[in-house]
Amino acid sequence: MWLLDKMLKALIRKGRLVLTDYDGRQYTYGDPAAEALYVRLTDKGAAFHIARDPRIGAGEAYMDGRLVIEPPHDIRDFILFVMSQGDGGKVRPRNPLRRLADRIGSKLDQNNYRARAARNVEHHYDLTRRFYELFLDADRQYTMALWRDPNGTLEQAQLEKKALIAAKLRIQPGMRVLDIGSGWGGFALFLNKHYGCEVLGVSLAPDQVRFAQERAEAAGVADKVRFELIDYRDVSQTFDRIASIGMFEHVGLANYDEYFSKCYDLLADDGVMLTHTIGRLKGSGGTDKWNRKYIFPGHYLPTSSQMASSLERTGWDIADLEVLRYHYAYTLAEWYRRTTLHRAEIEELYDARFFRMWQFYLAGGEQGFRHGQLVNYQFQTAKRRDALPITREYIEAEAVRLVSADVAPEWHLAPKAAE
């Protein structure tokens, strides 16, 4: 306990944390007059497991029931509390060998050759359909929503996101669109609904592809909207527009030039591409160790300079770059709320450890957008400078038109969640 005690004394400067060790001894950190957040360790080795590498140890301790957050607080409260301390609550490894090992491990983890890329995607995205229904919006958008109203619904915010991206693509009827990492098909169907365009969605998640194709068939547009289980590197047709929403995080830094070169080859000369990705405002180095191990193996979050440099090397013109800051924090908070509402069903689908892992993932992601360096980037790129208007007014005008022409569906599980 001495090592964890030393770390927490140095870390906690705001608020008050009260920790009870497995033997009943109590430790208090921060402001004695502040409202306390109480946590408890359940076994003798928990403190050392956390202290020796907090970046992964805290999450594992919570998943395994060795770290318990006492009501009325929960793990989200604990994570946001710790990470709101100075310097974003970061605890960096002091051992230079460990830092080196982390960097090497992160680089090796990004070696996304075809077979490994497929395994990494299936690890996360081929969980049961029912599970994702329990916390996503009715259209199953599993990327940042756009919260024009922070007090609005997730459904409306996801509609706003789709509309903004579609507006930036500047699609015309009859165009052919490639949707890389097409998820459960919602964006491809949205484009076809509003523009009548043909869309090919490609993904490495088998059940996502099956479900998306089922949606296209149910909507009667399977002749226009198709989904294939294929690596983007194996696509051979030419397209007028390319959308990449929430896929670029899985490419890996070493593969950026290959990715953008391939997309360049797939796009018509007067085409436009929109890349929507989580990124970092600054900094470099490895990705989060806990997320690499348990949630997104092979992922890497870029800085804008890393993306821009690769785009420049591969021949693209950057037409527009938008930095979206707190939107994913709001999105993750709502996913966390819906996940927690369905704790019993999630534990029945999987188990209590999985439920706690998912809580930790969502709350940890939220803190990264609230207190850390995480943002979303939208890069609009083209082969020719004259492919797009010279001012941005068309983007907002088209996004407003699309939202007005659509209606955000209600969350299909809202009545049950309210019980």
pLDDT band for 283, please (50, 70, 90 cuts).
confident
Same domain, 60 and 119: no
Residue 109 lies in a domain: no
Same domain, 283 and 182: yes
pLDDT in tens, 155-175: 999 999 999 999 999 999 999
Output the pLDDT for position 417: 36
Which carries the bigger pLDDT value, residue 292 or residue 167? 167
Residue 94 lies in a domain: no
Average pLDDT of the residues of the chain: 90
Residue 302 lies in a domain: yes
Same domain, 306 and 386: yes
Same domain, 121 and 74: no
pLDDT in tens, 335-368: 999 999 999 999 999 999 999 999 999 999 999 9
Question: What is the CATH number for 193?
Answer: 3.40.50.150
Going by the DSSP 8-state scheme, the letter that residue 34 receives in this structure is: S
Which carries the bigger pLDDT value, residue 109 or residue 307? 307
Number of domains in the chain: 2
Quick one: average pLDDT of 106-125?
A: 53
Same domain, 30 and 133: no
Same domain, 146 and 81: no
Residue 101 lies in a domain: no
Output the pLDDT for position 118: 55
Residue 366 lies in a domain: yes
pLDDT in tens, 117-156: 556 555 455 688 999 999 999 999 999 999 999 999 999 9
Residue 315 lies in a domain: yes
Give the residue numbers spanning the domain of 59.
2-89
Which carries the bigger pLDDT value, residue 100 or residue 153? 153
Same domain, 223 and 260: yes
Residue 362 lies in a domain: yes
Same domain, 28 and 126: no
Output the pLDDT for position 365: 95
Same domain, 54 and 9: yes
pLDDT in tens, 206-218: 999 999 999 999 9
Same domain, 10 and 56: yes
Quick one: average pLDDT of 273-287?
A: 86
Same domain, 179 and 79: no
Quick one: average pLDDT of 176-196?
A: 97
Say yes or no to pLDDT of 97 above 50.
no
Same domain, 280 and 211: yes
Q: Which of 89, 123, 144 is the last residue of a domain?
A: 89
Most confidently modeled range among 28-42, 96-110, 112-126, 279-293:
28-42
pLDDT band for 113, please (50, 70, 90 cuts).
low
Output the pLDDT for position 408: 78
Output the pLDDT for position 107: 52
Residue 107 lies in a domain: no
pLDDT band for 289, please (50, 70, 90 cuts).
confident
Q: Which of 45, 72, 89 is the last residue of a domain?
A: 89
